Amino acid sequence: MKIKVIIHEAEEGGYWAEVPAIPGCATQGDTFEELLENLYEAIEGCLSVDIDALQITAKSKVMEIAV
């Protein structure tokens, strides 16, 4: 899956980034490398959903797909 991110230079130093396709998904890093690591973690966290919090019936199916 490819996803576009917008990377900004922070006024106080370092970087911050946002993921327009996932509202509220943003992160920061002191270096560009740290920012990239944090982006992967932030995107994974934003896309993860606790299925225990959802109402699942006996007729429901839980699947994991790659996009």
**Distances, alpha carbon 65 to alpha carbons 1, 21, 39, 56, 62, in Å:** 11, 18, 21, 18, 10
In the chain, what percentage of residues exceed pLDDT 90? Answer: 63
User: Chain-wide mean pLDDT for the chain?
Assistant: 88
In the chain, what percentage of residues exceed pLDDT 70? Answer: 87
Q: What is the pLDDT of residues 31-52, one digit of tens each?
A: 999 999 999 999 999 988 666 6
Query: What is the pTM assigned to this prediction?
Result: 0.71
Instruction: Give the start-to-end residue ranges of the domains of the chain.
Output: 6-53
